[in-house]
Amino acid sequence: MTPRSDKPVIGVGGVVIRDGRVLLIRRGKEPFKGEWSIPGGHLEWGETIEQAVVRELHEETGLEVRVGELLEVVERIDSLEDGGGGGAAPPGSSPPFHYIILDYFCEAATGVPQAGGDAAEVSWATETELARYQLTEATLRVIRRAFTLARSRV
């Protein structure tokens, strides 16, 4: 698990939809090892948010992307008391991590998706296949928003 900090960590994610499918990654490292999610990671010092999205998607999927609209800002606070289920930490507890994640709609420019960086696996999923991946409610909400945006551009 990522070492606890006394400040929230800023994360970024990129939702890529191609031919009616969304690109997902299975996390290969803690936190959330083994879970399916949107590709992304931490903002690095001195890096713009857009640079972080481009870097993280390239590291985890091998894709070069163009960053589009902000889909949602997601806050994830997990505590040992809630079994890592998310939400606010109970009063008096010390959450092991607190993320503020900015998820963006992205267009794949070049590359063939392959797992790299913190990703153990990549997969394309249609909207009806999302239940198979046991995504968090927040992740599902962001992906559905991206599908709606993608359909409006056709």
Q: Active-site positions?
A: 121
Contact 23, 57 (CB under 8 A): no
Length, in residues, of the chain: 154
Contact 111, 64 (CB under 8 A): yes
Query: In angstroms, rounded to a whole number, what is the distance separating the alpha carbons of residues 85 and 105?
Result: 25
Q: CA-CA distances (angstroms) from residue 72 to 48, 89, 148?
A: 17, 21, 13
What the block records as the tokens of 23 is 């690109």
